[in-house]
Chain A
Amino acid sequence: GAGVSQSPRYKVTKRGQDVALRCDPISGHVSLYWYRQALGQGPEFLTYFNYEAQQDKSGLPNDRFSAERPEGSISTLTIQRTEQRDSAMYRCASSLVPSGAREKLFFGSGTQLSVL
């Protein structure tokens, strides 16, 4: 696609429910990143993939959070047993080539998650 696409744009859920957030990176982009952005704060790194391999998940806050990218393209971030503190904008980004800090990240519009 022309840009990084995320769905849904908005997600409202009840505490305790599981949610799955989807990211469709730019076609051909090797690296895919997940960030979380609380209101009034900068994005916080969660995890990233090169192709289908999860390279670093050190930013995932706890074991309720997981991510996958089974075919090296679309990725899903899953939050189990959601809590109110999980409410935030979840943003995906992709880059053309793996590693290399110089590579430009292309960000999606994000999924705004609200846990009631």
Chain B
Amino acid sequence: AQTVTQSQPEMSVQEAETVTLSCTYDTSESDYYLFWYKQPPSRQMILVIRQEAYKQQNATENRFSVNFQKAAKSFSLKISDSQLGDAAMYFCAYRSYNNNDMRFGAGTRLTVKP
């Protein structure tokens, strides 16, 4: 079974600075998708960014980008120019190409300091 590990329970960043959240996963599959979700205090689940494993190019969405290292099974999220509204729990998730369950990591709580 696939597992997703987020080794940083908490992270802190100064407003306008850059922060990187780590995620590693374990799989024997070659085709899959990786996601970062944001969960603010409202406990909504908001998709931040998505990466297809077959794509070598790292996904980017405005201030959010990923560093996808397939051989190392690493999928880190970089937030540039951090804003107060970025403060939230961030979950890394893995989804197999062949089935539909999505596996989540335990999350990283990000604090943004003004």
Are B47 and A42 in contact, CB atoms less than 8 angstroms apart? no
Residues of chain A from 45 to 91 with CB closer than 8 A to chain B in the complex = 45, 48, 55-56, 58-59, 89, 91
Q: Within 8 Å of chain A (Cβ to Cβ): is B103?
A: yes
Inside 8 A of B97's CB, which chain A residues have their CB? 101
Q: Within 8 Å of chain B (Cβ to Cβ): is A105?
A: yes
A15 to B6, CA, bound (A): 33
Interface size of B as a range? 20 to 34
A42 to B91, CA, bound (A): 7
Inside 8 A of B64's CB, which chain A residues have their CB? none
Are A107 and B45 in contact, CB atoms less than 8 angstroms apart? yes
Scoring B44, B96, B105 by chain A CB atoms within 10 A of each residue's CB, the highest score goes to B44
Are A40 and B44 in contact, CB atoms less than 8 angstroms apart? no
A102 to B35, CA, bound (A): 10
Size of A's binding interface in residues, CB under 8 A: 25
B57, chain A: closest CB distance, angstroms? 16
Are B103 and A45 in contact, CB atoms less than 8 angstroms apart? yes
If the complex has contacts A40-B107, A42-B107, A107-B44, are A101 and B91 also in contact, measured as CB distance less than 8 A? no
A108, chain B: closest CB distance, angstroms? 9
Could you say which of A59, A89, A101 contacts B95, with CB atoms under 8 Å apart?
A101
B95, chain A: closest CB distance, angstroms? 4
If the complex has contacts A45-B102, A101-B97, are A110 and B33 also in contact, measured as CB distance less than 8 A? no
A54 to B12, CA, bound (A): 41
A44 to B2, CA, bound (A): 12
Binding site for A on B (CB under 8 A): 4, 6, 32-33, 42-45, 47, 50, 52, 91, 93, 95-107
Binding site for B on A (CB under 8 A): 31, 33, 40-45, 48, 55-56, 58-59, 89, 91, 93, 98-99, 101-102, 104-105, 107, 109-110
User: Besides A43-B91, A91-B45, 16 other CB < 8 A contacts?
Assistant: A33-B100, A41-B106, A41-B107, A42-B6, A42-B93, A42-B104, A42-B107, A43-B102, A48-B100, A56-B100, A58-B101, A89-B43, A101-B32, A104-B47, A107-B44, A110-B43
